[in-house]
């Protein structure tokens, strides 16, 4: 098997050896990155090798981006030469594809970072939000009532109290006016 590979490699022109060499090394690096990301949980360790963007630490010149550039550059160059394109047009096309892949990886990684959230729900963000009574809220700050409201884009069921003298039945629309403790909300009925 190694003799077949050696014969194939020796039969290539120097330009093809360069393009194939870059493509093969970049492909191996990509496979290693995928393995480490999927099975070892080390995806965030491959961030930057140079220019940083301050908001997220992600850079267009990250290890992933550079690997994508060389992957696109190598394979595009090799395919271009094999299909009869000259050396200079092949290099130009390879540079274009490599740069495009690097940019695509950068945009994808930025999008993934934006999707991440800390997962911490801050009930203070419910103040001023509309809510619906889920479990009857007893009068004069009696406990046991619950509401459903949107907090940070999630539908949340939260403990609720009220100050009026009439109980609030399920389905009643209310406004969250205050947060007490870590997750209890004070509500008022909507004025008709």
pLDDT in tens, 28-75: 998 988 888 777 655 444 444 444 333 444 566 778 889 999 999 999
DSSP string of 105-132, one letter each residue: HHHHHHHHHHH-------GGGGTT-EEE
Q: State mean pLDDT over 153-180.
A: 90
pLDDT given for residue 192 in this prediction: 60
**Statement: 123-189 belongs to CATH 1.10.287.110:** no
Q: For the range 33-38, what are the long-range contacts, defined as Cβ-Cβ under 8 Å and sequence gap of 24 or more?
A: 33/63, 33/64, 33/67
The Cα–Cα gap between 159 and 189 comes to 16
pLDDT confidence of residue 80: 94
Please tell me the predicted confidence (pLDDT) of residue 115.
64
Position 183 pLDDT exceeds 90: no
Looking at residue 42, its pLDDT comes to 52
Task: Render pLDDT for 115-156 as a digit per residue (tens, 0 to 9).
Answer: 655 567 888 888 999 999 999 999 888 888 999 998 888 888
Q: How many angstroms separate the CA atoms of 78 and 72, rounded?
A: 10
Section 178-189 average pLDDT: 89
pLDDT digits (tens, 9 = 90+) for 79-115: 999 999 999 999 999 999 999 999 998 888 777 766 6
Sketch the domain layout of the chain as residue ranges.
2-115, 123-189
Q: What is the mean pLDDT of residues 171-178?
A: 92
Residue 55: per-residue pLDDT: 40
pLDDT at 114: 66
pLDDT value for 56: 43
């Amino acid at each position: 098997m190694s003799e077949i590979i050696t014969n194939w490699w020796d039969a290539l022109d120097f330009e093809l050896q360069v393009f194939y060499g870059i493509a093969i090394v970049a492909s191996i690096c990509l496979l290693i990155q995928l393995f480490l990301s999927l099975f070892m949980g080390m995806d965030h360790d491959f961030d930057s090798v140079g220019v940083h963007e301050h908001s997220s630490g992600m850079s267009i010149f990250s290890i992933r981006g550079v690997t994508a550039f060389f992957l696109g550059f190598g394979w595009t160059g090799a395919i271009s030469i094999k299909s009869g394109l000259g050396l200079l047009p092949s290099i130009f096309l390879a540079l274009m594809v490599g740069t495009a892949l690097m940019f695509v990886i950068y945009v994808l990684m930025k999008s993934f970072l934006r999707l991440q959230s800390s997962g911490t729900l801050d009930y203070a963000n419910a103040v001023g939000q509309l809510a619906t009574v889920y479990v009857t809220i007893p009068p004069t700050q009696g406990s046991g009532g619950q509401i459903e409201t949107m907090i940070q884009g999630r539908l949340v069921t939260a403990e609720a109290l009220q100050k009026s003298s009439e109980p609030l039945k399920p389905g009643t629309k209310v406004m969250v006016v205050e947060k007490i403790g870590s997750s209890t909300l004070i509500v008022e009925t909507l004025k008709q």
